[in-house]
Copies of this chain bind each other. A is one copy, B any other.
């Protein structure tokens, strides 16, 4: 008989061992980059990813992705569309399950509530049901209105980043969770959350309303784990690093692949752990990303 409460802290290598080729993986915001890099390090293939922006682009460039469930692949830094995503999409190398923020929420919530669909009005009149035939236009059974029926979007695993958690998987954010993170958590079979800091269970119980994810399956310690993105309450985005990536990604899409190969090698594949990655970035750069 196990007489103690089970602790849920594991490292990023063990967390990534839960993943397999072909799985559906939801990636939250701010991006759990330590886990994303671990996916690339493991060389996973044929993933379906529910993702947006930079991490989506990086996973595509690294060859991990077969299918994308996304509402946005914009870039920033004057790049309206992430280059590796755009390139792969235009060549038909990835399949795109076209959706939109409200539709994505409805699909994740349908999965969370074990419903075969949820109705949604946003998207009626648009091309979305035409380019994504899984979205069915239907007539509601009560008032006869025209709506979209959104089927469940059911990730095998959700990978999220947060400020803090206790050793039992109670996650508390600073400054709120990413807008889609709780939907991903509710819909996914399992949830792994990387955190800046592990706090005591007593700290969690001092403010239980702050607990945003009550029972993550695993917690991974990952200080600076969202780098090059921000983590509210800890550090801001590393714009210099992201600008550099954007330029490499544009080159990659244009057939000049060397820079991207080096980036993936240097930052994702070679460092055996997250700590080694941080060493590569350098403590000076990291400390320069202070919040205020």
Q: Which residues of A contact B (CB under 8 A)?
A: 113-121, 136, 138, 140-143, 145, 147, 149, 151, 173, 175-176, 208-210, 212
Known: A116-B147, A209-B210. 9 other contacts (CB 8 A): A113-B121, A116-B140, A116-B142, A116-B145, A117-B140, A117-B141, A136-B142, A141-B149, A175-B208
Minimum-distance CB pairs A-B, first 4: A138-B141, A116-B143, A117-B142, A116-B140
**Tally of this chain's copies:** 2
A50 to B113, CA, bound (A): 24
Known interface pairs A117-B119, A119-B115; A209-B173 also in contact (CB < 8 Å): yes
Query: Smallest CB-CB separation from A115: which chain B residue?
Result: B119
A175 to B117, CA, bound (A): 33
Query: Smallest CB-CB separation from A151: which chain B residue?
Result: B142
Distance (Å) between the CB of A12 and the closest chain B CB?
26
Determine whether the beta carbon of B136 is less than 8 Å from that of A208. Answer: no
Determine whether the beta carbon of A119 is less than 8 Å from that of B118. Answer: yes
Distance (Å) between the CB of A162 and the closest chain B CB?
12
Determine whether the beta carbon of A117 is less than 8 Å from that of B136. Answer: no
Determine whether the beta carbon of A115 is less than 8 Å from that of B210. Answer: no
A175 to B175, CA, bound (A): 19
- Within 8 Å by CB of A121, from B115, B120, B138, B175, lies B115
Please indicate the chain B residues that have their CB under 8 angstroms from the CB of A118 in the complex.
Answer: 118-119
Distance (Å) between the CB of A203 and the closest chain B CB?
14
